[in-house]
Amino acid sequence: MEKLGMDLQMSIDDKRVRSGIEGFDVLLQGGYPQGSVTLVAGTPGTGKTIVCFQYLFEGIKNNEKCLFLTSDERIDNLINQANKFGFDFKPSVKNGLLKFMYLDLEKQTVHTEMESEILTGKYSRVVLDSLTPLSETPVWVVNRGSEIIPLLDAGGNAQIPLDSIQATRMHVRRILRILEDDDCTALVTSEIAEGSRNLSRDSVSEFLVDGILVLDLDPSMDRRKLTVRKMRGTKHTLKPRDIEIASKGGIRVL
């Protein structure tokens, strides 16, 4: 009985979610671990958003509910961009399988709106593109589980400096916790500044996620690379793999 229980637990833990990237799942023992949060990090133009498109398109093909959280106001642009690679999102948006949600970073309620959408929407796949501007907005914390207000002392001053590492860590952790819902598997993009050795601009996200993919460019060789830097419960290579971006189908591991 005990043994059967353990086997069952292992098979539940080991459920994999396919990436939609040709040649990639085999490097991850079948895909992203179900329920995990993976950071997709890279400098500008390395293909982070395309990784997200492919991930959600794969979900749609399997009739899974998908959510694309974006801090970019022009959702139509995003849909057109995806269309250029052959990912037609319009029918899925129409029939409710896919939702694009704009995150208005000016609003104090941005986190609660995101949280309630994820909790009520019962999404299998969630993408947040990108974490960077969200992590750079001022720190807000949950007060009595409903309102989001800044943590202030009696004098109305922030208890910890807003630009401190503790503040950023707290803030990023709060965002990632929202995505840590067991039923959904999430991708979160993060912008790396050119020349930086960190995997995110906030330099803490990489410690708080289950997996990290790094997208890279080698301009002198005209090559693109994809590296799995970390993936919870997965035996994977650390070697950068050559990838290409094709007009039809997006990213493919060579």
What minimum distance in Å lies between the beta carbon of 121 and ligand ATP?
24
Tokens linked to 236: 């994977």
Our finding on whether 46 is near ligand ATP (CB under 6 A) is yes
Using an 8 Å Cβ cutoff, are 49 and 190 in contact? no
CA distance 157 to 154: 7
- Of 186-205, which residues contact ligand ATP (CB under 6 A)? 191
User: Which among 175, 170, 193, 83 has a CA at the least distance from the CA of 129?
Assistant: 175
* Structure tokens that stand for 112 in this block: 């609660």
Is 199 strand, coil or helix?
coil
Residue 12 or 246: the one with the smaller Cβ distance to ligand ATP is 246
Residue 247 within binding range of ligand ATP, rule CB under 6 A: yes
- Using CB under 6 A as the binding rule, the residues of this chain from 56 to 85 that contact ligand ATP are 84
State how beta strands 141-143 and 125-129 pair.
unpaired
Q: Which segment (37-45, 196-204, 206-214, 226-234) binds ligand ATP by CB under 6 A? A: 37-45
Nearest-5° Cα angle at 147, 141 to 150: 35
Q: Which stretch binds Mg ion (CB under 5 A): 25-33, 40-48, 159-167, 201-209?
A: 40-48
- For the chain, the first-to-last Cα distance in angstroms comes to 45
**Residue 214 three-state SS:** strand
The three-state secondary structure class of 13 is helix
- Please tell me the count of residues contacting ligand ATP according to CB under 6 A: 12
Residue 176 or 214: which CB sits closer to ligand ATP?
A: 214
Q: Which is nearer to ligand ATP, 191 or 202 (CB)?
A: 191
Q: By CB under 5 A, what part of segment 47-106 binds Mg ion?
A: 48-49
Q: Tally Cβ neighbours within 10 Å of residue 245.
A: 14
Query: Based on CB atoms, which residue is closest to Mg ion, 132 or 234?
Result: 132
Kindly indicate which of the ranges 14-22, 43-51, 145-153, 196-204 contains the residues binding ligand ATP, using the contact rule CB under 6 A: 43-51
Contact residues: ligand ATP, CB under 6 A: 42, 44-50, 84, 191, 245, 247
Contact residues: Mg ion, CB under 5 A: 48-49
